[in-house]
A and B are shown apart, each in its own frame.
Chain A
Amino acid sequence: MSIRVNPDLRNELIQFGIGDWNACYHCGTCTAICPLSEEGFLFPRKKIRLMQMGLQGPLESSVEPWLCYYCGDCTKTCPRDANPGELMMSLRRYLTSTYDWTGLSKKFYTSKIWELAWILFFAALVIISFLVILPSFGYKFTTELTAEGGVKLNSFAPIPIIEAFDWIMAIIVATLLISNILRMYYKIIWKNSTTKVSLWVHIREFWLLIFNFAVQPKFSKCDDKRYWGAHWFLMSGYTIMFIVIVVFLPWFQTEKILPVWDPQRWLGYYATFGLLFGLVIAIFGRLKKKDIKFRFSHVSDWLFLVMLTLTVITGIFIHIFRINGMPMATYVSYITHMAVLVPMILIEVPFSKWSHLAYRPFAVYFTQLKKNAVLK
């Protein structure tokens, strides 16, 4: 069966950030220089080819863009300024939008206004909740301090309500992500009519998913190992924070000022430091544009960094202001923190850049499935 070329696809892809999409003349250097490219899963060149020709079907069923961790070697050695690294990045954005059945992802990626409007909408919702709705139920600001001199945070942001809200948010995000992953599975594995993967293989290889989520072993295969370290630091901090906030909120959001050696505090410090470290590297990298990895920035890249940074900084502020007994400052920080965090989780995780936390490990898992597939 022959596939029809679709020259219009590139116009769509341009919105996802593919730059000089036609510069590639297919010397194959990028695929060969890439330490992650492997037999049966060759990239970037082959993916560039599909993109140039507008072969939508094969492109959407590609798992390879998720296997790329953007070390930039391909772009550095490219003889033609084709920038394969960034092309792969753009394809990840495109794929994210194709997995998303709501169509929102595409809107967010291709329209700055849409994305900003939604962020502001959620932010406003959060602010209104804290300023209008919660007070109307009797949860008010109080300038009173605890016995130790800390801010009475929980009376302003009651744990059960916040916890419930966290769970709702987590469930929404998880539902969206899971449904998108199912679509991803459908496109990559199910739809592929020539191969068949048994259920046993699905179960046998499942550990890969967990392992890859936790350590990103593929990332560590890039020649420059520093970014793997920084990323892991950031990622572990983020995961810890996420788990702590959603699952152990009562333990974490305390009014008591715990001693410094308490696990609650050092876990928080570790996560904060991890996040900050990763962020500083990424922000300075993108500003300096020295490393190819950071040379080209899409709006979504910056938005994600700015929001995460704001979240982390406001988080730090909450902590400092709380233990130092500065109620108003604490409340303002808390509301800001939530006003950034909520849209970030709701928009970035299922629809935008952050979805990679799920797609990447799944991609590795699916790759393994494909390797084990038998010809039908």
Chain B
Amino acid sequence: MEEPRIGVYICWCGTNIAKMVDVEAVSAEVGKLPHVVLAKNYKYMCSDPGQELIVKDIHGHQLNRVVVAACSPRIHELTFRKAVEKAGINPYLFEMANIREQDSWVHTDRTEATSKAIDLVVAAIRRVQFHEPLQKRSVNVDPATLIIGGGISGMVAALEIANAGKKVYLIEKTGRLGGHVIKFDLTFPHLSSARQMIRPILQRVENHPNIDVFLNTEIRDVTGYIGNFKTTIRINETESTELRFGNIIAAVGLKPFDPSKIEEYGYGKFPDVITSMEFEEMLGTGQVLTKYGKEPRNIAIIHCVGSRNKKYHEYCSRTCCMVALKFVHQIRASLPSANIFEIYADMRAYGKGHEEFYALTTHKQIIFLMYDQQERLPVISQADRNDNCNMVIRMNEKLSGESIEVPVDMVILMVNMEAHENVKEVVHAIGVSLCGNQFFIEKHPKLDPVATTTGGVYIVGTCQGPKDIPDSVSQARAAAARILATIATGSVAVEVTTASTNEKLCCGCQTCVKVCPYSAISYNEEKRSSEVNEVLCKGCGTCGSACPAGAITSKHFTDRQILAEIEGIMSMSFKGV
């Protein structure tokens, strides 16, 4: 092995790091270490000039290893790997120390934070000495795409990809395409017909030569990796065709919240307390009727049912306010003289044309009432016999500060949208993670809202979080863009940091074969040793730690590297003693 020549760079991240960590002291301290050729600090290492600095130094000082102490490697490891690669060094001869998220941002004592930063940088320096160059590999991309979910997001994504001449397998759990949207009568804010809107999309999807639609279909598990996935779909609970595809889009959507959990509203107890979804169905006939077949004289619409309340779901469901306003127009058209009460918490008319729609709705002879969706929910109770209404809502009206009662004959609950119970199956099959609200986690909430941490797997539409039709459509197209680009390129880079076996050391116990969750390890009877399929291997390293003979190396996370890191972390601890 050549003599390590390490360049160390400490980032200020503006004041993010520099405020809490004495970057000068860190660079001075680590500059004294063996093999460290230079140690510098700079305002923004990730910026163009910052990266340029590294490249210049690599050339000027014949560096062969680089350490950058900056933010989390989850953010910029790739950026800097690219930078060192540009200078002709293997990108894996680089290591990052996280002195922002795990140091400057969480500590308040500058001395402590600085000494911690030094420890972390030293550890990285020790570790990087044992780094080995790893070669990037790429695999060809199967041009077919699997889309899970036949709602509007799934269908739009399917069309976008299929129109480019690429194969799409669209699988839908239920017996028909269209998702929730097809159940709607009108859409907001233009009050256009949802059915008319979705019809051309359905026609195109169903008749598209490049789209294979599988109804009543589920997937259990997906094997493979980006560019080369494989699954056996189950139609009507029976194993069926095997599909091969290069990319996956999950568009599994959400389902409505069950309001019977909220005692105050008496859903299930009062027949005329119904959910927004049930009301949508009623609107299709145009006839708004109570369970006794009478036209209600008083209708209340309660917002945020199951939303924005820590007891149920803390998040906002994003669409219900506008749907509720849409209902007002529909009720008014059907029942010109009914009293409509809109019981809301904050009117979230945020989209294009939404505020204008809200203003238009106020002219529909409707009474807006504001309630506290967290502390004091309105209570629905049976009206007295001699009262000329079915039910009474008692609530604290916030804008007037009065305790009021509202006579009602029908109550529509604007229910929250929540994850399907069986979402975990999909999650496990395709390897994405869930956030606390059971939504799929995107790769980056801002800059990569449709990709996931698993290569080749994308999430679109409401499974990523509640959203309205245009936002779902945009997301669907965004995922399609990413997939089309990889298909256009034809190949994609795969995991480099896989496991590998040393035939000579392998004792043939096959422990590794048993522990590998990806069936990436097989036992070669002839050679009497285990072998790793590096395309299937995702680099978790479980086999490495299970191997009793030390025959398995987890690339980039080798024992030597980690032990060096531990030594590094502890090496400065006694200096101050």
Contacts and interface: CB of A to CB of B under 8 A. Distances in A.
B17 to A, nearest CB: 42
Interface string B264-306: 0000000000000000000000000000000000100000000
Contacts, number: 63
B403 A3 contact: yes
Interface stretch (B41-49, B365-373, B472-480, B566-574): B365-373
Given A4-B404, A5-B341, A20 B397 contact: no
Nearest to B401: A46
B359 A23 contact: yes
B230 interface: no
Given A3-B404, A5-B341, A7-B339, A26 B399 contact: yes
Contact of A52 (B339, B368, B394): B368
Interface in A24-61: 25-26, 46, 49-50, 52-55, 58
B406 A5 contact: yes
Contacts of B242: none
A4 B405 contact: yes
Contacts of A25: 347, 358, 362, 368
Contacts of A15: none
A2 B394 CA distance: 8
Nearest to B361: A22
A375 interface: no
B381 to A, nearest CB: 12
Nearest to A3: B404
A49 B399 contact: yes
A2 B407 CA distance: 12
B135 interface: no
Contacts of B339: 7
A48 B166 CA distance: 60
A1 B341 CA distance: 20
B366 A55 contact: no
B367 A46 contact: no
Per DSSP, chain B at the interface is: strand
Contacts of B203: none
A2 B401 CA distance: 11
A246 B57 CA distance: 105
Interface string B243-266: 000000000000000000000000
A18 B42 CA distance: 66
A2 B400 contact: no
Contacts of A10: 365
Contact of B359 (A5, A26, A54, A80): A80
Contacts of B402: 2-3, 50, 53, 55, 58
B400 A53 contact: yes
A1, A3, A5: residue with the most chain B Cβ atoms closer than 10 Å: A5
Contacts of B365: 7, 10, 22
A20 B397 CA distance: 21
Contacts of A52: 367-368
A22 B363 contact: yes
A20, A22, A23, A58 interface centre (most CB from chain B within 10 Å): A22
Nearest to B369: A53
B474 to A, nearest CB: 28
A1 B407 contact: no
B367 A2 contact: no
Given A22-B363, A23-B359, A23-B362, A55 B403 contact: no
B395 to A, nearest CB: 8
Nearest to B364: A22
B576 to A, nearest CB: 58
Contacts of A3: 402-405
Nearest to A45: B399
Given A7-B365, A22-B368, A53-B400, 13 more contacts: A2-B405, A3-B404, A4-B406, A5-B341, A5-B367, A5-B404, A5-B405, A7-B298, A22-B366, A25-B368, A46-B400, A50-B400, A55-B400
Interface of B: 298, 339, 341, 347, 358-359, 362-363, 365-370, 394, 397, 399-400, 402-407
Interface of A: 1-5, 7, 10, 20, 22-23, 25-26, 46, 49-50, 52-55, 58, 80
23 contacts: A1-B403, A2-B402, A3-B404, A3-B405, A4-B404, A4-B405, A5-B367, A5-B405, A7-B298, A10-B365, A22-B365, A22-B366, A49-B399, A49-B400, A50-B402, A52-B367, A52-B368, A53-B367, A53-B400, A53-B404, A55-B402, A55-B404, A58-B400
Q: Which 4 A-B pairs have the closest CB atoms?
A: A7-B339, A2-B403, A22-B362, A49-B400
